[in-house]
Chain A
Amino acid sequence: MANGVAAWLPFARAAAIGWMPVANCPMPVAPRDNSKRQDELIILNVSGCRFQTWRTTLDRYPDTLLGSTEKDFFYNEESKEYFFDRDPDAFRSILNFYRTGKLHYPRHECISAYDEELTFFGIIPEIIGDCCYEEYKDRKRENLERLQDDQEENRDVKPPNMTFRETMWRAFENPHTSTMALVFYYVTGFFIAISVITNVVETVPCGTTANQKDMPCGERYTVAFFCMDTACVMIFTVEYLLRLFAAPSRYRFMRSVMSIIDVVAILPYYIGLVMTNNEDVSGAFVTLRVFRVFRIFKFSRHSQGLRILGYTLKSCASELGFLLFSLTMAIIIFATVMFYAEKGSSSSKFTSIPASFWYTIVTMTTLGYGDMVPKTIAGKIFGSICSLSGVLVIALPVPVIVSNFSRIYHQNQRADKRRAQKKARLARIRISKSGSANAFIHNKRNGLLNELLELTDKEEEEQKQAKTPSLIEIQHHHLLHCLEQTTAHEFVDEQMYEQNCLEMALQTYTSRSPSVSSDGSSSGTCCGRRVKRNMPLPNTSLPSAHPVPTHQSPLQELSALHIQCGDVPSHTISRSTLNLKKDNSSRINCKGGGRITTAIISLPTPPALTPDGDGLHGPPQRRPPPPPGLPATPSIQTTTSSAGMNIVKVSAL
């Protein structure tokens, strides 16, 4: 609940009176505001500029520097003010965040300076308001790219310990890294050029010899051309195989466009080798040679411009598709019309509608070859309409396509960017939200742990005291607690919930006492609910898994207290321990007072440990229901937690 609605917490708590008549369980004791400070003005001196604000304004965001006790480090005793040696201009927007709940990015501010200020004051940039967020992200990206460009020039420094394969791949991708790569690059380029020229020259008529008519060079100097072809194809094959070997992900490499072009370029040769001079298939074979021209596309590895062109065509495909479609429509319409118009005339070239297509295309693109002309009057009229409309149909969309292309190109980039940002933003906001929800669940567990620790009087745990939660947090948790009591259900986190579902599904197969039901019907009181949890679950391995009968002193009950803090991978825990926790959560009787059974409480690492200060200091008449068990470690706390847990066993007495 790190938002500016802390001011409404009193209202939410007051409104909770609406739950009271409905609740069947008694409510937890309200936290007392021991430090009854009157709301006071705080002076913040930022490099000489004095800002003043109410204390409660700053307290709205307790996980920032100004909202927490961290600002006490900056307190100046003599002048009774908080002094920060930072930029006052940037501070204005930060203070406005506390006041209005919206963080704005001042456009005149340098992006890295602003980022630093935000980091200093403990504010995450994701909460920048929508009005300024895009600008902020754009500037940040620009900045990053600028810095990255500078860094890229130093990329020629080879990182040490690269395998041979990685070196090769790097050489292929970036020919400037080493001389060998450069040589390879130029050699392949040269051979591509040779191959293309050979293909072209092959078909040129080479001049007549004495006894034969004009024949293309390819047939005259068959051997020479064949040798050239072989040499080129061998080079290409070797190159392809080397790339295939060096590729980090071979499957992905084989699917990439460039590799497909490579394969298509060299395949005709091999197919030609395999096929003999069989007259039947030689026609097909000749067709295959056409594919050799694809070798020219191999140049795109060498030319940045070609790559960009390919990419733009790809991204502009829909526009081109639209143009093609409208052209096709017009062609069909006019071809049909011309065919029927010219049907009557004799020796008309318009023999069928498809035959008229040629005429329509030539006319619409204003080429006008003249090999097909209409002879009837109707034909000529429609022909002229066709050519006029051709101008429109073709000339109009083209500038639109050009401008569309440029707009779509930029827009796509911006849309993708925004989408990516949005996902990341929402994810972060969700994490911090779940952090607050889970903070409540943590508090319950931690409070319980500390209680039991105090009871056992053991100092084995250096009680990893994290910072005390603010009063607002305590009150908020009390409110959530009241809701739990009203509905006689508890909040759990997602993992626990899924585990419970899993266990419930499993439990339908195990035999147990009929009086016990695993679903929580709200007709039971809190006590009744706790009794239900007493069921012995299968696979429990811990010997002391039984609830201990009533004793007077709480200390004797604790036969073994397992405090599990440790790296517990959530789903690889054996079922036994899971069930165990569920079963043996500490159970404190409603009426008996102080009947503590064995407990297994799991904790994440220090940052999450907070002593639960509220309501548990009163008479232990009503204890909050114990947590159901193990939290799945990494996902609970916010992203910062590394969640290492160590298992510690504490035995009482």
Chain B
Amino acid sequence: RGPGPSDGATGRYKPPATETNPALEDPTPDYMNLLGMVFSMCGLMLKLKWCAWIAVYCSFISFANSRSSEDTKQMMSSFMLSISAVVMSYLQNPQPMSPPW
């Protein structure tokens, strides 16, 4: 085995290539973020409760899959939007959600 530590030149940490190429990384958090926003807009505009609930789920999934380097502001805004969609749907129409069957 080689002489070991002291002889080698020390290089610095370079982030792996995938970080510089986010398209190669898992696109799940971005998709879920977008989907969450779309659903919450649908829920708000069309007053559909189930849309708003799905939006909440989407923003949770996006948060769980997010990279630590990603902006928390984006996550928070999508989360707040979905919560507001749920709240507004219930304020406008306090009836409980009816199942589709």
Asked if A and B are interacting partners, one says: no
Binding site for B on A (CB under 8 A): none
Binding site for A on B (CB under 8 A): none
